[in-house]
Structure 1
Amino acid sequence: MCSKESVDSWRLSFHMRCLATLFVVPLVAATDTYIATFDGAVDTTRSWQVVNDPVMGGRSNSSFAVDGERHLGIWSGNVALVPFLAAPGFCNLRAGSAQNVTYPDFSGSEGVVARLRQNISDGLTNFQFLLESTGAKNGWKQGVYVASFSAPLVMGDVFVPWSSFHCSWRGQSVAWCPDLTTQLKLISSVGLGTAFPGTVGSFRLELESLSVRSARSLSATSASDEYIELATFGGSADHRWHSENDPVMGGQSTSSFEVSPAGYGDY
């Protein structure tokens, strides 16, 4: 059995922790390193190609063009049934896979970001990130790291962490690829694909950029410096507190607040 004193002590401690949590703000910022843009920048302008399922007997099709005025990559197409499979096919868009293509070292980053939108309101919304590395091979087989995402109807960032990727070969998951986090300095191709297996339908993706994202602390000294204290109860950020209850509008609720000598706020 717990004594009344121990229960009150626990309640006071719980209140303190709740209040402390409310007023601690971590100072962490995300930084993006661009790997593909469509504004003509030398370091991030890529050569893109589409790969559709007619390579395996399907009827899906897509095309890619750059809108120079709006600095967008426009990838549009239609996913159709593969006749002999009676199942939806695929469309892919990729940059890389050539010997002279290089990408920056992604090591230390947390995931990939696409800034894009789907411009057909009733079109396909399920897509995939596609990544290849020079280390994800098994003989002549090239593994592809794949992660799913949903494309928004308004321009915005879509972030997918590296932990969401799995390795596949010709649409089938395989176990012979190294962990993606060991391959981030060996990326040889980046791209997008329609969901596979997916559904039939049309799409028009307006792509503004592809980047990798890292979380960066604004303070590099110690863990305690990563927070700003907005309110304390006997410390460096004390305030005058008062409670407001619904009797101001005719109600009957009551509450009180006091600062404990131990430095807790008890509400």
Structure 2
Amino acid sequence: AAETDTTRRLSERGRDTPPHASMLSSCGLVLPVLLLLDAASAYAPTSDVVEKTATAAGADTKSSEILLVNFLGADDSVTHTWRALNDPVMGGRSFGKVTVENNVLNFTGVCRIVPSLKAPGFITAQTSDFKSWPDVSGCKGITIKAKANSDYSGYRISFGRGHPIGGKFFAYGYKSHFAPSVGSFGSVYLPFEQFTDFWDDATGEPIHTCAENAAYCPDDKTKQNMKTMSIWAEGVEGEVSIEIDSVSGYSCEAK
């Protein structure tokens, strides 16, 4: 009878014991672990907090742009004089016109076949002053905000006066093809690695690229002061009509 009474008391004590107390009695580490997990969950950031933190970090590292040229006339450091240059080579019949109106550069004309070459010539809108240009040596490349009024596909841009050993006689400056948006203004981004100073002065096409040899990439001296810039319609026959709003360096690091 005494043994039965003792067994009953132990059974009742087990029913009255809280679950975590029995766990503690079986393993002294369980309760501290549970308490630590509860505390960690109380201080853990929610997904909303994590997302906002990532966004803030991205905003802190967002790249800036450096304006090279626009056509507002409000800031002399980014205002230049522009003129048209028609294809003068071997009876070229291409012609162009350059005006600054409504705060944009209007470049219009026709790129025609050069009879003696049986290939399209070129026209350009180019700067004609000797003013300094902003330093974009800390930028990834240049961006052109422009609107083409037709689907003409022979647009190029060049800057500087780079000329490599063995380069073509008339080929000066670092040049790249670009494709502006048609019918509305849009931005085209051209990494400096896309430019080369080793190009064909008859077609505008690259002969050797920056990717092939870093010697043909724009150098820091040129990026620190481009000295000159040209918009080309070249190597493709057709009517030319484009409006340039601005040209800037992009992804620029603070100095």
Question: Which TM-score band applies after superposition, normalised by the shorter structure?
Answer: 0.5 to 0.7
What are the ranges of 5 or more consecutive residues in structure 2 without an aligned counterpart?
1-46
How many residues in Structure 1 have an aligned counterpart in Structure 2? 188
Q: Distance in 2 between matches of 1:159 and 1:87?
A: 29
From 77, 85, 93, the counterpart of 2:109: 77
**Corresponding residue of 2:238:** 201
- Who is 1:113 aligned against? 143
Quick one: structure 1 residues 125 and 184, their matched pair in 2 at CA, closer, same or farther if it must change by over 3 Å? same
Higher helix share: 2
Partner of 2:7: none
Match of 1:146 in 2: 175
The C-alpha deviation readout for 1:62-109, integer Å capped at 9, x for no partner, is 000111xx211100011100001111111111114x5x3211222111
Q: Deviations over 1:122-145 (max 9, x none)?
A: x41331111123x64659976321
In structure 2, how many angstroms separate the alpha carbons of the residues matched to 1:138 and 1:181?
15
Quick one: which amino acid aligns to residue 152 of structure 1? Answer: S
Quick check: 1:37 aligned with 2:70? yes
Q: Distance in 1 between matches of 2:131 and 2:253?
A: 28
User: Percent identity at matched positions?
Assistant: 24
- Relative to structure 1, is the Cα distance of residues 177 and 143 closer, same or farther in structure 2, using a 3 angstrom cutoff? farther
User: Is 2:121 the partner of 1:89?
Assistant: yes
**Does the 8 A contact of 1:136 with 1:177 survive in 2?**
no
Give yes or no for contact 2:83–2:127 (8 Å, CA) kept in 1. yes
Answer yes or no: is the 8 Å Cα contact 1:162–1:181 preserved in 2: no
Choose the corresponding residue for 2:231, options 192, 212, 216: 192
Max radius of gyration: which structure?
A: 2
Matching residue of 2:250: 213
Shift of residue 215 of structure 1? 4.5
Query: CA RMSD, aligned part only?
Result: 2.9
Of Structure 1 and Structure 2, the greater strand share is in 1
Q: 1:156-198 CA deviation, whole Å, 9 max, x = no partner? A: 1111010101113524636896531433124221121124xx3
The correspondence for 2:82, drawn from 48, 67, 72, is 48
Q: What secondary structure, in the 3-state scheme, does the structure 2 residue paired with 1:29 have?
A: coil
Aligned-partner SS, 1:93: strand
